[in-house]
A and B are shown apart, each in its own frame.
Chain A
Amino acid sequence: MNEILNQISERISKIESENRKSNVGTIIALADGVARLSGLSEAMYNEMISFDDGVFGIALNLGEEEVGCVLLGDTSSVREGQEGRTTGKLLSVPVGKELLGRVVDVLGRPLDGKGEIKAKEFFPVEKIAPGILPRKSVNQPLQTGILEVDAMIPIGRGQRELIIGDRSTGKTSIALDTIINQARINKEGIESGAKDFRPVYSVYVAIGQKNANLARTIQLLEKHDAMQYTVIVAASASENAANLYIAPYSGCAIGEWFMQNGMDALIVYDDLSKHAAAYRQVSLLLKRPSGREAYPGDVFYLHSRLLERSARMNEENGGGSLTALPIIETQQGDVSAYIPTNVISITDGQIFLDTDLFNQGIRPAISVGISVSRVGSAAQIKAFKQVGGTLKGEYAQYKELAAFAQFGSDLDARTKATIEKGDRLVEVLKQKNNSPKPVQMEVAILWTLQNGFLNDIEVKKIADAVKSFEEYAKAHGQEVLGRILSEKVISDGIAAQLKSLCEAWKKTFI
C-alpha cells in the first residue's frame, strides 16, 4: 500500500519540479500549421513548445519580439490568443526494438491500433551526425535481392544510395524489395543460429504519400512477413507541412538507435522531393527569404544534415550502421533540377530509373549508364566480383553497339556476339516486383550467363530459362548454393559443381 502511495507521490513531485518555471508566449497569428507567438523570450532554437490539449510545436524562428513555431499533430484545437510554453526539451521520439512491426506518426505515437508502445528510450529528432573518428569505411554488403543492383551498383551497409526517377518508374518498389529481402535474410540468419549473423532492421519513412498507398505498402510488407523487422513512420499527404518536414528526422532517430547500439539498420526516405516542398511551405509561412525555385537558402543543409547521419561505425563504437535509401522524384527525367542535384551530390551514388526503359518492359528500369555506387566493389562479396566484375562495362559496350546496329549495317562476328550476349544479359537482369533473389542464386545465374550456358537459348526464352534454372537449382543445387553463401568465393570446386549443375539443368530445359 505504502509503496503504491510513494510511487504516486514520486510521480507528482517529479511533475511539480518539472512545471515549476516556464516561459510563455501568446499566439498572435496562426495559419497552415505555423503559429507566431509574442513572448517566449527564453525559447531555444528547435525547442518543443507545448500548447493546450497536448499539442506540441517546434520553435524555428527566433525573433526579437516574436517566435515562429511549427505545430505538429492535430492542430485543430489551437486558437489565436492561446498560450504556448517552453518545455526545455528538444523534440524526441521513442526508439528501440519495441517499435518494430509498428506504424507510428512523426512523434512516435502509434497509428496502427496495436496499443501503446512501451519504449524505454527516447532519441532527439535533430542530432549532430557522427564525426570522422567514430566512422569506418563501408565494406559490408547490403543485399537488395535485385540482381541488377547487387551486380552492378552494389550497396554497402552505412552507404547513402539515392533512388531517382520520374513518377511510376518503380522507385518505391526497389526500396520495398530491399526491405523484403532484409526480412528474408534476417529470418534465415536467425533460424540458422550463426553467431556472427547481423540482422538488418528497416525503417520506412512515408512523406506526403496517399493513405491508400501507405496501406498497400503495409499490406505488402505484412504479406512477405517483413513488418516484424520494420518500423513505418507515416506523415501522409493529409497532414500539415510541419509533420512532413519532421518525418525523416524522426525516422532517422529511430534508425540511429539501432546504429548506436551496434546493430545494422536500413532507412528509406520516400520521398525527399516532397520533403523539400514541405520545408519550402514551412519556410514561406515563416516568412523566411526564398531563393531558387522559392526554396529557402538552407535547403541543401536540410538534406545534408539528414543524410550525414547515416554511417558505418567502427568497432570501438559498436560497429553498427545506418544505410539510407533516399528517393527523389524527377520531372521529365530532369536530374539537373535543384533538389535532385543537391541530393545527388550528398549521397554516395544513385540508381537512376528511366521511363523509356520502363515502357519497353525492362524492369527494374535502371539506367545502368548513369547509375553508380561510389562505394563500388568494396561492398560486394568476392564471388560477385568474379561473375559480375566486367558486367557494367559489357553492358555499356552492348548499349553502344546496339544503338549502332539499329542502322542495319553489316556487323562483324565479334560485334554480333557482343550484342547477342548483351540481349541475353538484359533478359537475365529483368526481375519481377517483390521477388528479391538470394545472393547465392544471383551469383549462380550470372555464372551461368558468363560461362555460355544461355548462349544457345533464344533471347525471348531467356526469362523462362532463368526461372527454370532457379527452380532446378533450388531443388538439386542446394549444396553448391550453400557453399557460395558460406565461402563467398567461386573456387575451382564450386565452379565444377556449378558446371555439372548447369549441364544437368540444360538437359531438363527444352
Chain B
Amino acid sequence: MKIKAEAKILVEESAGSDGMISRERVAAVCDYVDQKESPRRKTALLRAYAKLLALELKKQEALVECSGEIGGATFESIKEFIKKAAPEAPAKLKFAKKVNGKLLGGIRIRYGDNIWERTVRTTLDALR
C-alpha cells in the first residue's frame, strides 16, 4: 500500500467513535507502526501521518477571537452557530476563547480552514 493511503487509514484509526482524536489512540498507532514497518518505511509513514494528523487536529478545535471578553450566553450562541455552519464538525468539538485587541471590535471564529469574521479591522481594511 502506498504511504499516503496508509497514513490516511492511520489518521482514521486515531479518531474514536465520537470523531475526536485522542492521545492514547495516537500513541497506539505509533506503536503499531514501530512494530510492523521496516525502519526506512517507518520514518516516511510517520512523517506523512504527522502531516495529515496536523490537518485533522485543526478540525478538532474552534478558536473564537474577540476584542474583549465574551459573556457565557454569547459564547453559547457562538457554539450553536458553529455547529450549524460546520455540520461536519465532531459532536465533541472543543472551543477556545482568545482576546485579540487588534480586531478593534467584533468577532472572528476559526474552524479548520474556515474563518467567519465580522470585525472593525476587516471593515476598515476593505474600505481602504
Contacts and interface: CB of A to CB of B under 8 A. Distances in A.
Contacts of A40: 113
B118 A23 contact: no
A12 B127 contact: yes
Contacts of B114: 21-24, 42
A19 B52 contact: no
Contacts of B123: 12, 15-16, 19
A19 B103 CA distance: 14
Contact of A39 (B113, B122, B126): B113
Interface in A1-51: 11-12, 15-16, 18-25, 38-42
Interface residue tally on A, bucketed by range: 10 to 19
Nearest to A37: B113
B118 A16 contact: yes
Contacts of B115: 21-24, 85
A25 B113 contact: yes
Contacts of A410: none
Interface in B114-128: 114-118, 122-123, 126-127
B57 interface: no
Contact of A19 (B51, B112, B126): B126
Contact of B113 (A12, A16, A19, A24): A24
B118 A20 contact: yes
B116 to A, nearest CB: 5
B113 A23 contact: yes
A65 interface: yes
Contacts of B51: 65
B127 A15 contact: yes
A21 B116 contact: yes
Contacts of B117: 19-22
B52 A65 contact: yes
Contacts of B85: 21
Interface string B88-110: 00000000000000000000001
Nearest to B8: A64
B116 A20 contact: yes
Q: Could you say which of A19, A22, A65 has the most chain B C-beta atoms within 10 Å of its C-beta?
A: A19
B55 interface: yes
A85 B123 CA distance: 15
Nearest to A39: B113
Contacts of B110: 24
B106 to A, nearest CB: 9
A85 to B, nearest CB: 8
Contacts of B112: 41
A65 B123 CA distance: 30
A12 B114 CA distance: 22
Nearest to B128: A54
B126 to A, nearest CB: 4
Contacts of A15: 123, 126-127
A121 to B, nearest CB: 22
A265 B43 CA distance: 60
A116 B20 CA distance: 53
Nearest to B59: A41
A288 to B, nearest CB: 19
A24 B117 CA distance: 12
A12 to B, nearest CB: 6
Interface string B42-68: 000000000110010000000000000
Interface string A156-200: 000000000000000000000000000000000000000000000
A42 B111 CA distance: 13
A16 B118 CA distance: 6
Nearest to B114: A23
Nearest to A38: B55
A118 to B, nearest CB: 19
A20 B114 CA distance: 10
B51, B110, B112 — most chain A CB neighbours (10 Å): B112
Contacts of A23: 113-115
B55 A65 contact: yes
Interface string A75-101: 000000000010000000000000000
Interface of B: 51-52, 55, 85, 110, 112-118, 122-123, 126-127
29 contacts: A11-B127, A12-B123, A12-B127, A15-B126, A15-B127, A16-B118, A19-B117, A19-B118, A19-B122, A19-B123, A20-B116, A20-B117, A21-B114, A21-B115, A22-B114, A22-B115, A23-B113, A23-B114, A23-B115, A24-B110, A24-B114, A24-B115, A38-B55, A40-B113, A42-B113, A42-B114, A65-B51, A65-B52, A85-B115
Q: Closest 5 A-B residue pairs measured CB to CB?
A: A15-B126, A39-B113, A41-B113, A23-B113, A21-B116
